């Protein structure tokens, strides 16, 4: 296992003793804030340093409930089609001006027939032209190996053995974290991270792009 020296968060990598088949290594990541609470909605991405597996067709839904995007933070692979059902009894107009995906769904109620295909990697900030308080995030990545931290603070990702660049993001991350490299073998691994979340941050934390392959 090899970690880059740039480390802005506490990182502990523990190797488990039991083995799993070479085609499925489970990496469990626990992410907490400095105060010990779960860093809910933090996104974890493992970018293969070798070859990416072939992409496939996928679809997800991001709902609108009580003038909120549900889920608030979504991560998906490049090429995924997204629908935006509206479960509120009022109409919404979902849009984004982000470079990774710019679109505008005209004012509607119920479920629009139109899908939005997120075909470029990057961070997409969602909004509603009618309700300025509605903000959501879609992180689009080329890698199929990613996860979102739930309320428990722990997320598991199945990784084939190999070399990976590891990155993490949260909308209120206090400062960007340098990508770190790890090597995954046949044995499961457990990672514990402490990240600095600034709850008072008004601007969105910058998205960490995938490091250049080599």
The yes-or-no verdict on residue 6 having pLDDT over 70 is no
What Rg, from alpha-carbon coordinates, does the chain have? 18
Q: What token pair was written down for 119?
A: 């075909």
Strand order in the sheet with 146-148: 146-148, 43-48, 162-169, 180-184
Q: Is the pTM of this model over 0.75?
A: yes
Would you place residue 20 in the very low, low, confident or very high pLDDT band (cuts 50, 70, 90)?
Answer: very low
Local structure of residue 35 (DSSP, 8 states): T
Start-end of H helices in the chain:
none
pLDDT of residue 22: 45
Kindly report, residue by residue over 194-208, the tens digit of the pLDDT: 999 999 999 999 999
């Amino acid at each position: 296992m090899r970690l880059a020296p740039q480390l802005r968060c506490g990182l502990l990598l523990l190797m488990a003793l039991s083995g799993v088949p070479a085609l499925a290594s489970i990496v469990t990541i626990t992410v907490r804030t400095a105060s010990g609470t779960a860093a809910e909605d933090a996104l974890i991405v493992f970018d293969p340093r070798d070859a990416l597996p072939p992409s496939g067709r996928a679809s997800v839904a991001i709902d609108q409930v009580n003038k909120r995007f549900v889920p608030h933070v979504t991560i998906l692979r490049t090429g995924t089609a997204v629908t935006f059902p509206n479960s509120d009894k009022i109409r919404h107009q979902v849009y984004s001006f982000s470079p990774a995906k710019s679109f505008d769904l005209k004012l509607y109620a119920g479920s629009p027939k139109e899908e939005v295909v997120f075909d470029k990697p990057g961070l997409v900030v969602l909004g509603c032209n009618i309700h300025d308080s509605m903000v959501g995030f879609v992180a689009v990545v080329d890698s199929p190996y990613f996860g979102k931290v739930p309320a428990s603070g722990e997320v598991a990702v199945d990784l084939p053995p190999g070399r990976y660049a590891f990155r993490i993001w949260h909308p209120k991350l206090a400062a960007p974290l340098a990508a770190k490299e790890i090597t995954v073998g046949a044995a499961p691994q457990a990672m514990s991270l402490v990240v600095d979340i600034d709850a008072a941050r008004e601007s969105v934390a910058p998205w960490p792009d995938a490091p250049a392959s080599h």
